[in-house]
Every structure is written in structure tokens, then in C-alpha cells.
Structure 1
Amino acid sequence: MAKSSNGSEKVLSSEQHDGLLQTLKTRFDKNMDRHQELEWAGVQAKLEAQPEKLWSLHEMERTGGEPDVVDHDKQTGEYVFCDCSAESPKGRRSVCYDREALESRKEHKPQNNAIDMAAAMGIELLSEEQYRELQKLGNFDLKSSSWVKTPDNIRKLGGAIFCDRRYDTVFVYHNGAESYYAARGFRGLIRV
């Protein structure tokens, strides 16, 4: 059985399981514009068959991500869930980009980093392209910003990139990977 970062098993109680499925279904039904032509029964069947993915979705929900289905890969049959909270998830803010950046700070270290948090949750950070696709489904990060996967050549030079939406435009910026801010977190996705 897989373990979470605190050593506990990545299994939901029956109450958590049922509650999360109801939350996801309610969000799915309320936001049909994000996943037109998809039916909840197919999504739920995939979730029921992969409890470890349901655990990851629970972690997304617990940290304020409000995950929802944003795509269906017809080749693999996978549904793509992404954080759809209006702002960068509150439970994942004030983090630097990765472990190397965290360890490079001499003082005032944040408690965690985006890459390790995502891995512990069983999700991945959005790429710039995925972030731009998400923005086609609504207006996200109007007051916050989100770290996105940083190309190796930028990261090797000490930088990392993040995105937000201002003036009805998606912007991509750079920062030192060791930086962190109260209004910057990260959005993730998981394929089920």
C-alpha cells in the first residue's frame, strides 16, 4: 500500500470517500462548460477503480484546489482533473519552487516547496501550456499567482517561472526559485 508523506496509508475512510465523490459530482454538474459532452458516471467509474487517485484528489480538495474535470484524453481514456479554485490554492502558498531552492535559503525558509508538495500529493504542477488551457475555462489567479513547471535551462540558472491573469491576459514571469510569497502557490493536475 502506498504511503503519504507523513507515513500514513493513502486510503480514504468510507466517509471521506463518499463525501469527496459527492463534492466532485456537485462541482462537475455545476461547471459543465469545463467538460461538455462528458458524463459523471464514466468519471466516477474511473475514480472507483483507482483509489490512490481519489486520495490525491482528496489532497487537492483539502488544500483548497477545488479539482474538476477539464479534459478527457480519448486515446488513453483518462480524465484530467485540475485545480479550478478562483485563486491559487490557499493550502499550497508561501512555498518556493523546489527542494534545491529551499535548501539554498540561509534564513527565512518557507515550510515547503511546490515540487515536493505536488509529488507527496500524487499530482504534477501545470506546465505553462496547461495553465493557459485552464485559463480558457475561466478567469483564474486574478489576485494570486501560481508556480508552473520550469524548463530545465531556466532552472539550471537559478530561476523558476510562474503565471497569473491580469488585465484579461495571462502573464508568465520569472523569479529566483528560492523566492516565496503569500499570494503565490501552485496548481496541479492528475490523470484518472
Structure 2
Amino acid sequence: MPSNNDENIKKELSADQQEELIHILKSRFEKNMTRHPQVEWDKVQAKLEASPEKLWSLHEMENTGGEPDIIDYDEKTDEYIFFDCAAESPKGRRSVCYDREALESRKKHKPENNAIDMATAMGIEILTEEQYRTLQERGNFDKKTSSWIQTPSAIRKLDGALFCDYRYENVFVYHNGASSYYSSRGFRGSLKV
């Protein structure tokens, strides 16, 4: 699990790790064409091979159970947008509170980490509410778990944070104290390549 104390980690994969990850991503891409019907894998692979640091971030997403896949393409910036597409909130990122301030505010039973620092260490961003809704248009995710999402500063200043899940065939957005954490709540990330 990535830690915010690991700033000196070499953010590069070996040739074997790159090859294995690209194989995993290609296989997932081909099995889930409805998520990205207009995207050509060869173009994606060329971008991945030219971006070793992005590959490292995708490797971190994969290693923590995120199952990253392409959800969108930004024509303006010519970037493919990967989201965590695991059926449930990634296992390696659960039981975390929202951010460092929330973590430090806990007097007892502190979680090991927080969502914002973990995402930063991985080189990804936590999904916004809009991105979370876009993800749910590509399938149904978080039917048993929930995921922290980016929280507006006005809510965060009042010690709150937002999370989402999918129940009763709908996306729900909820609030909780930012310092709370649950074994069924993690976070989903996005990465532009």
C-alpha cells in the first residue's frame, strides 16, 4: 500500500513489470469495449510506453485492487482517462479517513492512512462526483461498498466529507465526518495518460 512517507520511491517499473501491466490493461480493455467503444488500443499502448511515470501510477492502481480501465478520452489534451473499475471500492484502499487533517484530528483508533495522501502518493486524483456518475454510466460499481469523492472546501471546512455508492439502481451521494473510516469504504481514482 502506498504511503505518504515514501516520497523517495523510484516511480518507474522494470521492463518485465511494464510488459505484464500492459498485458493486463490490454486484456481488460478488450473485455470491456462498452466502456470505450471509439478508442483504439494501439494508440493507448503507444502513450503508455512513452509515459513510464503514468505506468507506475497505473501499476499502483492495479496493486491496490483498482482494476484501472479507460473511461474517457479528452480530445483537447489528447489524453486517455483511466478510472478504477473494480466492482467494489479497491480493497487495498479501504479503511481510510478522508485526508491528513482528519487523520490527525482522531485521538483514538486512527486508521493507517487517508484517501487524499494515498492518491497523491500514487500519482492519481480521487474521483469527483461528476466522474463518479460517469463511471456508473459504464456499469454498476460499489453495490456493497462506498468510495470517498472530492469534497468541496466549504463542506470540508466544517469537518465533513462526501462519499458515493450505488444502491437501488441509483447513485447516492452522502456526507460523513472526514475522520470516519469503514472497512467497506475506500476511494476510486482517475489518471490521464
TM-score range, shorter chain: over 0.9
1:159 paired residue number? 160
For 2:75, give the aligned amino acid. K
For 2:172, give the aligned amino acid. F
Q: Secondary structure at the match of 2:75?
A: coil
2:186 paired residue number? 185
Distance in 2 separating the partners of 1:63 and 1:5: 17
For 1:27, give the aligned amino acid. R
Distance in 2 separating the partners of 1:166 and 1:5: 36
Query: How many Å apart are 1:38 and its aligned residue?
Result: 0.8
Identity %: 69
For 2:169, give the aligned amino acid. D
Corresponding residue pairs, total: 189
Once the two structures are superposed, residues 15-37 of structure 1 have per-residue CA deviations (whole angstroms, 9 ceiling, x without a partner) of 11100000000000010000011
Once the two structures are superposed, residues 30-78 of structure 1 have per-residue CA deviations (whole angstroms, 9 ceiling, x without a partner) of 1000001111000011111110000000000000000000001111100
Distance in 1 separating the partners of 2:5 and 2:78: 29
Distance in 2 separating the partners of 1:50 and 1:61: 16
Q: TM-score, normalised by structure 2?
A: 0.97
Query: How many Å apart are 1:88 and its aligned residue?
Result: 0.1
Query: How many Å apart are 1:8 and its aligned residue?
Result: 2.3
Q: Secondary structure at the match of 2:116?
A: helix
1:4-23 → structure 2 map (5 Å cutoff): 5-6=5-6, 7-23=8-24
1:174 paired residue number? 175
For 1:118, give the aligned amino acid. A
Q: Secondary structure at the match of 2:156?
A: helix
For 1:78, give the aligned amino acid. E
RMSD: 0.8
For 2:139, give the aligned amino acid. G
Q: Secondary structure at the match of 1:72?
A: strand
2:39 paired residue number? 38
2:142 paired residue number? 141
2:80 paired residue number? 79
Q: Secondary structure at the match of 1:22?
A: helix
Distance in 2 separating the partners of 1:70 and 1:33: 9
Unaligned runs of 5+ in 1: none
For 1:40, give the aligned amino acid. W
Unaligned runs of 5+ in 2: none
Distance in 1 separating the partners of 2:74 and 2:130: 16
Distance in 2 separating the partners of 1:5 and 1:136: 36
Q: Secondary structure at the match of 2:20?
A: helix
